[in-house]
Structure 1
């Protein structure tokens, strides 16, 4: 059925926390007569429906909602109109104020008509989703109004084409050093030094005061203008206002050298801080330098260079040696080595040839490749990875949320304290000089800006996420990065996670017949089954099977298969089948899945099928234990004997066997019993059949299979290489990042509190205060950048 004959609807099920209920809802809705297909994504609580066009849409939606309410009453059901949003990205070139970014983000998110918004300060990108029913032009005008009102003078560029945005970010990254600002600082410093020289040599007069005022205007004029504009708009307590009041106050009480010095070193600190942030931006951009700039589209015998967004599914593209593969596809012609390090963090080259799948973002090394495109750019691996990393800042950690709230109260409290210190002591303390206490109050104003925290904390988390992505670990938000540091228990699915998930025949044991004959019986018995075990037997048999020779076929659930073949009755299954049919058999001693074969009620032997343990699974378990993980658990549908054998070989602490997919959530609930809020649990699965368990765990980690759509959709963390050993690496990155975050919090608050106390006591001067502001911020930013290194 073509998509033109379907009506797509999306329903958000707010409050849906029961994975089993989600499965029931999905199953019931799928069976409705007028529903062509339905998919309930438990992770984002969204039910997507494809309704047959000829149906009564209103009646179908009523039936769907009735099913939801009867299965899980009390949910907040929202039907998305037209199931579509308008996405726009706005680049804010010149945005260097972290506090202003927070203000813009908060105001934009509260606008009517905005479904979602996220301002990534690192990339200077504001991403918004506008409800399709709204006037797009009007909404964007309101957003631009907020930006200009909050931080005037930014170079605002609106675009929904990732190519242009990517180039704009690179262009901006190269121009972080403003030559005009640098010139002002140099000239202002020279005038200030000359004024200091005049004072030091005993020429303290009106001329030296004039020099200080000239230096102040050169260095701080822009700060004063911004402060005045913000006061007119009713915006108080920002950095410009606080610095202006503090330094003008110092000038008013005759502290000319100190006032100018504080403004000068504030501006130098801001300049150096901007350079440090610019460097971190470039470093993060370098970590994610995987986006292709163009594609070589093959049109007949001609090659046309176009944007990857313009290529359609089914088009043929050519990738030359040294070029990035721009879109996901299948190799039609050529054989070459490709570098997957940008996606996986692994430097080992991989060979691709005709018929192999190839992913966007990898680099073709040594030969021409012709590729048939299998996904449009927006759905390609590289686009999804970039989207995940760039939007990771929308899922904030508890620490980030705390700092955001803290900064809202911290500045007003310190400003009010400054006012009280300046006014009250001169009134109640005999002989107290107002100028002395005003000076102490001005110190409070300089220290009252929370920029060191507002800037360095998100930067630390974003750097950690960027570094993890460089190592083939995609972390979807700083909340998950924060949770990883507190992991107490790691729960593994077995097949495809700790093992390769590729079943192979490892033993053929005939009784009274040849190996070939036993394999023939087994292959014909399994010929109509799609089970992985059946496929492994058929692959091992490797001969053509004439299905017409199978007279009857019966699959006995939980036992095996019964067929008639060449006038012989064949049984193939487990021990329970042999017992059920009263067949005398010899029990296999080998570890693995055993298929017993009987012909005409006579036992004829068995075949052992085993799944191989991944090369790095044993080392992964060892590393997890070495970094302090208390308990490692394995869940599997295998029988006790196989499960225990693999668990012993791997060194896991506990194993649960004979589990059905639905049982895994129950076992995870058992594991949670008795654990505190701080003891986090990771579940690691293949991301396809384990969505409910991945969602229930504190952190769900999926084996990404180099871009598995299901894995990327389901999990909080995706391992792009399918290597369990990367889990320990992810936890180590999380631990280091969180240490850096708390180092910055303790350092910034500690220095500020000390300076506030010393300032109130008349010991600290404005020099210490300026260090507690811009000096601390600069050190915190430089420390945050360590999250990008080993």
Structure 2
């Protein structure tokens, strides 16, 4: 093929969990005549295409989509912009004063449907709308459209775009909320006083005209803003929001002569809204405090002086000074100083860690007792603290099945109840004898008050977000509420061995020569392993301690799953496992020691073995015990190590089943075997180091990466990242997930249960508007307070 320009395209294959299907798709797409090359990254679920420029781009994409859909139907496929062009534009919009969860959902849905928006996520807790604008679109025009949607859905919000001063915005927003609450409180006091005085007038039998005027005054003061907002929304076509429903219900009560009750319902609705706003504000503050790890400033070294700057303004290679008591603003390497650092914000561990010259330090740590000079290795957007904040704040974009169900349910629930209210209000007086219009109208109005789904729309996402925030405080990063939900149903936990249950630090524990000296055997082993990056190779080289002349090594060859073959000083050296000895027909004596054994032969003659042992983590035994107590039915271990080592570790830790001598792709196959005969509610966790085990992490229902502190590969591949090397935190993550899901179910049962009871009683004429207002605002308040328990 002659030289030609290429069009690069990327497709995101959401929901792709089958490694084999990914290979089939990649192979079929690569064979298309119009495609110069294709690469499907199974971990990122991203298919990158290089399309020949002369081809019809749309037709090629259609062919690719047909291949994907025929191989693995039901995937959520997104075609994203050309990777050869600049990246999509990411913008962050702060919606100050946003307190309506239902409105937040409407905004998010409308913005996501804009053609110019690649994806968006509105985090109601942080009042933060993150949008990604396609790079070929007019940024100003798109933002204007987004702001128009926000203003049309929820007018009067304080909208700010992409300011770096996050902390100042949060403080300003908090002041705005306080001012709004103060204004509402004054209205409630004035309206409440008028209402109480009106009730007093009624009960004392004084002329009712004055009491009616007091009731009307109270209604205007307390409910005027609700009626006005309902009218504005009605003009825009929004007739099923809470303001409209409450206005119609109370105005209807006024029309049929229930003046005190109409005013009382509006008053207690606003009191309930006020208390609910306070509760949401408190929960928002509590969740935000869990994640107060963002550094405020950095001390940039400029010549012999230091300059206080924003962390975003520091570049890779710059030198920063971190004083005692300060947060570390950026990732880097310590080049001067030694100090104790508090890592609890990232890891959940209270024990201080010593850090000194040449060691890595991460943003979010707190320097405790001495001055540190650090060379920056990552810009702020790529630092540990930024990635953690991004993961936690955007976790709400990966919704659980429960959240998706509630969203769909609420779309139908409100219209259905409103239609029923109309049926109840108008049909019985027409078809039934002695049925009075005012009585059935009142019953219909009760239905209207109960028809708002705010208790569900607000409390369910809040509960999941609270659980995710609490987990992050414990050093457990959960990437979405869908994984919190999946953790609840886990009955099998599959562990990788090395670096997960064991420390991954190998030491030579035995050298057994045959016919040569111990020193000579080590020399052969060291030269054989000199070009390998495997931890076992490094342990042999570390034990050998002498310099190695790489020029003496010839014909280096790694034999997959067997070992290494080299020529050294004109001698053929083989170093590897038993399979290598058998493959080369070398007579050898089997080692009796427990550990990883490297057998050595020289010129096809067996010369002995070296035993390397890995130490089990102190935490591992306790971790397995806690998992069993948490109700996990089966604990499995997969390892590339030999049977003897694997069985020894399994026996010591109490693991149920072991598979040894596995290659990375064989681990995926074993995991597939474990899935046979499973139901939807029998989930599997795989726990690995996040690098070598990426395919298995991606295949499992929940992939957990161990020791993810600073590891980009771990954060990328896993669904849950444990920021320390402690396997016992797996049981803690299951405990948090179980509690979070229990609270979610409690809120669903409470909200729906009370509403259904009040609807039935209202239809029967037993429940009045007071019960209806409790079923709406009262239940919402209780559900929000219950949701906050997920943070403890």
TM, length-normalised to structure 2: 0.92
Q: CA deviation at 1:27?
A: 10
Indicate conservation of the 8 Å contact 1:337/1:365, yes or no.
yes
1:167 matched to 2:156? The reply is: no
Aligned residue number for residue 764 of structure 1: 767
Name the SS for the 1:662 alignment partner. Answer: helix
Cα gap change, 1:618 to 1:170, in 2 (>3 Å): farther
**Could you tell me which residue of structure 2 aligns to residue 280 of structure 1?**
283
Q: 3-state DSSP class of the match of 1:138? A: helix
Is the aligned partner of 1:370 residue 2:373? yes
- Alpha-carbon offset, residue 242 of structure 1: 1.0
Q: What is the distance in 2 between the residues matched to 1:102 and 1:778?
A: 19
Match of 1:338 among 330, 338, 341: 341
1: CA distance between counterparts of 2:528 and 2:426?
Answer: 94
- Flag the 1:532–1:479 CA change in 2: closer, same or farther, 3 A: same
Alpha-carbon deviation of 1:202? 2.3
Report the more deviating stretch, 679-688 or 779-788.
Answer: 679-688
Establish whether residue 689 from structure 1 lines up as the match of residue 720 from structure 2.
Answer: no
Q: 1:201 to 1:380 in 2, by over 3 A?
A: same
CA distance in 1, matches of 2:66, 2:410: 45
Could you tell me how far apart the structure 1 residues matched to 2:187 and 2:682 are? 53
Contact 2:36 2:52 in 1 (8 A): no
Matched, 1:110 2:109: no
Q: What is the correspondence of 1:210-249 to structure 2 with a 5 Å cutoff?
A: 210-249=213-252
Tell whether 2:276 aligns with 1:268: no
Name the stretch that deviates more: 710-719 or 78-87.
Answer: 78-87
Superposition deviation, residue 77 in structure 1: 8.4
> Is this contact kept in 2: 1:120–1:390, CA < 8 A?
yes
1:576 Cα deviation after fit: 4.0
What SS class does the counterpart of residue 495 from structure 1 fall into? Answer: coil
Q: For residues 420 and 31 of structure 1, do their structure 2 counterparts lie closer, same or farther at Cα, with a shift above 3 Å needed?
A: closer
Corresponding position of 1:12 = 11
| 2:126 corresponds to 1:127 | no
> Which stretch of structure 1 is more off in the superposition, 735-744 or 176-185?
176-185
1:70 CA drift (Å)? 12
Secondary structure of the corresponding residue to residue 143 of structure 2: helix
Aligned with residue 350 of structure 1, among 349, 353, 356: 353
Q: Distance in 2 between matches of 1:562 and 1:110?
A: 59
- Secondary structure at the residue paired with 2:261? helix
**Correspondence list, 1:325-474, <5 A:** 325-474=328-477
In the alignment, structure 1 residue 674 sits paired with structure 2 residue 677: yes
**SS, match of residue 177 in structure 2:** coil
Instruction: Report the counterpart of residue 642 of structure 1 in structure 2.
Output: 645
Q: Is the 8 A contact 2:553 2:568 kept in 1?
A: yes
Counterpart in 1 of 2:301? 298
State the distance in 1 between where 2:493 and 2:465 align: 24
| Aligned partner of 1:612 among 604, 610, 615 | 615
Could you report, residue by residue, the CA deviation over 1:575-600 in whole angstroms, capped at 9, with x for unpaired residues? 34445566554321111111223456
**Deviation string, structure 1 residues 513-564 (Cα, Å, up to 9, x no partner):** 5433432332233223333221110011112223345566555555444555
Q: TM-score, structure 1 length as denominator?
A: 0.92
Query: In the alignment, what sits opposite 1:3?
Result: none
Q: Distance in 1 between matches of 2:462 and 2:751?
A: 15
Contact 1:317 1:371 (C-alpha < 8 Å) held by counterparts: yes
The answer to whether the 8 A contact 1:21-1:71 is kept is: no
Greater shift in the superposed pair: 683-692 or 276-285: 683-692
CA distance in 1, matches of 2:92, 2:487: 30
Q: Deviations over 1:154-179 (max 9, x none)?
A: 111111x4x32343134323543321
Relative to structure 1, the CA distance from residue 239 to residue 520 in structure 2 (aligned partners, 3 Å threshold; closer, same or farther) is same
Q: In structure 1, which of residues 471, 486, 500 is the aligned counterpart of residue 489 of structure 2?
A: 486
Could you tell me which runs of 5 or more consecutive residues in structure 1 were left unpaired when the two chains were aligned: 1-5
Structure 2: how far apart are the matches of 1:61 and 1:428? 64
Contact preservation (8 Å) 2:7, 2:53? no
In structure 2, do the counterparts of structure 1 residues 113 and 583 end up closer, same or farther at CA, with 3 Å as the change threshold?
closer
Secondary structure class of the residue paired with 1:411:
helix
Moved more, 751-760 or 492-501: 492-501
How far did residue 619 of structure 1 move? Answer: 1.2
Distance in 1 between residues matched to 2:316 and 2:708, nearest whole Å: 22
Aligned partners of 2:706 and 2:726 also within 8 Å: yes
Partner Cα distance (1:353, 1:387) in 2: 29
Distance change >3 Å, CA 196–CA 460, structure 1 → 2: same
1:201 positional shift: 2.0
Displacement, 1:457?
A: 0.5
The equivalent position to 2:659 in structure 1, one of 653, 656, 659, is: 656
1:536 equivalenced with 2:539 (yes/no): yes
Q: Mark the CA change 1:551 to 1:40 in structure 2 (over 3 Å): closer, same or farther.
A: closer
Aligned length: 776
